[in-house]
Structure 1
Amino acid sequence: MSDAIPTADVPGEANTVDGRRARRARGRTAVVDALFALLQEQGVQPAVEEIAARAGVSVSSIFRYFDGLDDLRELAIGRYFERFAPLFEVPNLGEGQLPRRLSAMVDSRLALYQAIAPIAHIARLRALETPRFATTLATTRAGSANQVRTHFAAELGTRTPARGDDLVGVIDSITSFESWELLRDTHGRSQSQIRRAWTECLQVLLAS
């Protein structure tokens, strides 16, 4: 018979570990919420000191909670996708006459870009250096092109496959976040002016 004495879990130690995990989870949530709120308020990426102050934690705690700032940004992007998920959809996709579908496409993209502008800008900048941001961006862009293909299937069906692909690319480019940002920031166009320009361009392209 073995003389070994069986060991038992120590409740105090388990409670300590669970408490640390809970505090870390609360800290991570507070930091992500702080970044999300600051992005919405300021429209630009805040300094890590601002994030820490808003979250009520130290700067060093942020780097304990996350594997660097890109990890934090990625979680914030995920939060944006969760909150604004309905805006990524075009209402009644592919349904109705062309004028109605044009309005649905243009209006939905304008509303989306205005809502996600701060995080979308950060994602595009980070995609140049970070593969996971590049993958997220590529997936989003592919979904956008597929929306165009489905929404204007009737008009695309009258063209050859190659011409249809050309048209999908042009429409998606015209109504892209990059186009919206250029028109807004460089050319000083308002939402209503961008709406008018996009709608008229799409009418010409789809009627030709």
Structure 2
Amino acid sequence: MGAMAGHNQTDGRTMRRTRNREAVLDAVLAIFDEGTLDPSIDDVAMRAGVSNRSIYRYFTDRDHLIRTAMSHSMARLGPDLMLEVNTSDSFDERVRRFVDHRLSIYDRTASITRAAKLASATEPLIAEQFEMARLMLRQQFLNHFGPELGPLAPNEQTAAVIAAELPFQFESFEFLAASTNGVREEMRNLLIDQLTLSIGRFRTTVS
């Protein structure tokens, strides 16, 4: 009986520790969403409702906390980053789906990306994660527009990808959002037009 009680106490402490750790990570992300990209330990502790000492029990330092919060956010978003590829769909349908998907990613990741870009200047691990994400999204682009890009010579394919990807960089989304006052339909139409032109001029080479 005593052993069971001790086991239950241990489970309770583990669950409480997990809840507190999750609360701390959620607090960091909430602060990012509010526009503070470089929160202090005091800011996070107050938002999470825990002590500073508790935070240092879960994370070795502030940088470790920020890195973990970013990884935590990306893990949650994982399935949403995937784009279904159906190359039998028309070019126009695939353009619209691609634009809608990238706009959705921007909406979901804008605040965490702003914070991550700030941190990446001094955090090599975060910069490395950015590069991995960039390569993943580029491969996604190549797969999605395989019928148009596949037959191109390597130098033509590289030129097509660079031209087409440029409007979908995070900084381009930020500029576009500011220029259109965040009006989604305007952003969407501009991106569709740009992507159609970028890939369309190479489609004439293939046909």
Q: TM-score range by the shorter chain?
A: 0.7 to 0.9
Mean Cα deviation higher: 100-109 or 166-175: 166-175
For the residues of structure 1 that align with 2:86 and 2:134, how far apart are their CA atoms?
17
Which ranges of structure 2 fall in alignment gaps of 5 or more residues?
Answer: 1-6, 202-207
Query: CA shift at 1:82, angstroms?
Result: 2.3
Aligned partner of 2:48 in structure 1 is 55
What do you get for the CA RMSD once the two structures are aligned? 2.9
Partner SS for 2:181: coil
Does the aligned pair in 2 maintain the 1:95–1:151 contact within 8 Å?
A: no
Aligned partner of 2:82 in structure 1 is 89
Amino acid in the other structure paired with 2:162:
G
TM-score between both structures, scaled by the size of structure 1? 0.81
Aligned partner of 2:104 in structure 1 is 111
Aligned partner of 1:154 in structure 2 is 147
Rg: which structure is higher?
1
For the residues of structure 2 that align with 1:111 and 1:16, how far apart are their CA atoms?
43
Query: CA shift at 1:169, angstroms?
Result: 2.0
For the residues of structure 2 that align with 1:60 and 1:102, how far apart are their CA atoms?
50
Deviations 1:74-115 (A, max 9, x none): 221122122222221123354411001001110000011111
Query: CA shift at 1:55, angstroms?
Result: 1.5
Identity among equivalent pairs (%): 30
Correspondence list, 1:22-101, <5 A: 24-40=17-33, 44=37, 46-101=39-94
- RCO (CA 8 Å, sep 6+): is it higher in 1 or 2? 2
Q: CA 1:61/1:151 → structure 2, altered by over 3 Å: closer, same or farther?
A: same
Aligned partner of 1:197 in structure 2 is 190
Q: How many residues align?
A: 199
Amino acid in the other structure paired with 1:200:
D
For the residues of structure 2 that align with 1:190 and 1:113, how far apart are their CA atoms?
14
Q: CA 1:117/1:95 → structure 2, altered by over 3 Å: closer, same or farther?
A: farther
